[in-house]
Amino acid sequence: MKRASPENSTSKPESNGSPTITDIALAAGVNVATVSRALRGVPGKVSARRREEIERIAREMGYRPNALAASLRTRQSNLAAIIVPDLGNPVFGPMVQGIERSLRARGHLSLIVQTPSDPKERESLIVALASRQVSGLMILAAENHDPLLHAARRSNLPTVLVNRGSGDRQFAAVVNDDRESVRQVLEHLTGLGHRHIAHVAGPGTSSTGSARRVAFEQMARELNLTTSTVVESLAFTREAGRAATEQLMADGAPFTAIFAANDLLALGALDVLRARKLAVPAQVSLVGHNDMPLVDLINPPLTTVRIALEEMSEQAAALFIERIDSPDATPITRMLLPTLVVRESTAPPAA
C-alpha cells in the first residue's frame, strides 16, 4: 500500500472525534513524540522547518490542544489564580484587567476569586486552588500574618503579591512606594501652609495601611508639624472612613487637612465633613490615595496619589512568569513610584 504523503493527508480524520496528535503524526509522517515536542515548542528537539510543517498540518486539521489532559500530565495548568480582597473596590477593577490582559498575552488564563473574610476559609481557598492545579497565585491584598500567605507558602505554588508586601520578603512582590506617596502628600500640604494635618489610616493589619501610617508619623516629626493626629480605620471602605473621621472629630484635636490612606476612606471623610457643614477645601483640605476611577468627578474633585496601575499590572505578570520558570530563585520586590494628582480638594488653610 502506498504511504500517504503530508500534502494529501491533512484532512480531518473520518471519525467524529477531534483530531489528535496521532492523526497529525500520521499526516506528517513523523512519530507522536516529534509532534508533541513541536506543538509544545520544546527547544532544540525539532528543526524549524519540521516544526512549521507540523504546525501547518495541525491548523489545517483543526487541531486544538487539550489543556486538561496536559495539566494532568504535567500537574500544572496555564491558569493563574488572581485573589482580590474586595471586588466592589473600584481600584481593583483596572488592576485585575491589566494583569489578566498581560497574563493572557503570555499564554495564561486567569481565575478570579475574592478573599474570604473567615481566616479558615482563606486556607481552604488556597488548598482548593492548588487541587485544581493552578499554575500560581497572584494575591492583590493580604493582611500581616494572613492565613492566606501561610497557606500559599505551604502549597509551594509560585506566588506574587501585588500592591501588598509581606514584609518578610518570602514572596515576590510588586508594590507602590508608600513612603514616597506620603512624602508627596505632606510636601504638598505643608507647601500650602498646613501645619495641623490628620491621617485617616488604613487597618493596621494591612501592609499598606501600616506602611503609610508609619511614614506619616515619621515625616510629621521630621517636618515638626504642630498637630499630626492619626485615627485607624477598621477597613479600606467608605463606611470605615466615616467612622474614623467621626472619631477624629470626637477626639477634638485641631486639623486643617486630612490625608486618607485610600480614596474610599477619603469619601467617608468627605461625608462627615459635609454633614458638619465644613467646606472642602475652604475649611478642610482632603487628600486620598490610589486615584481610583471617578474621583475626579466628585465635588470637589479629589486630590489623590496615583499608583502606577498599568506598570504594576505588567510588572506583576512578568514577575509571575519568572516565578513559574525559576521557582527556586530568590523572591524580589519591585517598587514603583507614585504621582500626586492635585485637583480641587486642597487649598491653603483658612486665615
In a domain, 346, yes or no: no
Residue 276 is which amino acid?
R
* Residue 120 and residue 137 share a domain: yes
**Angle CA(160)–CA(165)–CA(169) in degrees, nearest 5?**
80
Check: CB of residue 178 under 8 Å from CB of residue 199: no
* Residue 320 and residue 171 share a domain: yes
- The angle, 0 to 180 degrees and rounded to 10, between the axes of the packed helices 21-28 and 32-40 is 110
Domain enclosing residue 58, as ranges: 6-65
| Residue-wise burial string across 214-247, b where 16 or more C-beta atoms lie within 10 A, e elsewhere | ebbeebbeeeebeebbbbbbebbbbebbbbbbbe
One digit per residue, pLDDT tens: the chain, 351 residues? 344 444 444 555 544 567 888 888 899 999 988 888 887 766 677 888 888 898 899 888 887 766 555 544 445 578 999 999 888 888 899 999 999 999 999 889 999 999 998 888 999 999 999 988 899 999 997 777 888 899 999 999 999 999 987 666 789 999 999 999 999 999 999 999 999 999 999 999 888 999 999 999 999 999 999 989 999 999 999 999 999 999 999 999 999 999 999 999 999 999 999 999 999 999 999 999 999 999 999 999 999 999 999 999 999 999 999 999 888 899 999 999 999 999 999 999 997
Domain end (from 18, 37, 65):
65
* Residue 144 and residue 56 share a domain: no
Task: Give the span between the Cα atoms of 233 and 200, in whole angstroms.
Answer: 7
- Structural domain count, the chain: 3
CATH number of the domain where residue 236 is located: 3.40.50.2300
CATH number of the domain where residue 12 is located: 1.10.260.40
* Residue 272 and residue 202 share a domain: yes
Grid cell, residue 156, equals 509551594
- Sorted by sequence, the CB contacts under 8 Å of residue 69 that are 6+ apart come out as none
In a domain, 24, yes or no: yes
* Residue 119 and residue 13 share a domain: no
* Residue 324 and residue 255 share a domain: no
| Residue-wise burial string across 279-291, b where 16 or more C-beta atoms lie within 10 A, e elsewhere | ebbeebbbbbbbb
* Residue 79 and residue 54 share a domain: no
**Total-model pTM:** 0.78
Q: Which residue has the cell 459635609?
A: 274
In a domain, 342, yes or no: no
In a domain, 350, yes or no: no
In a domain, 151, yes or no: yes
**Angle CA(174)–CA(182)–CA(216) in degrees, nearest 5?**
115
* Residue 170 and residue 81 share a domain: yes
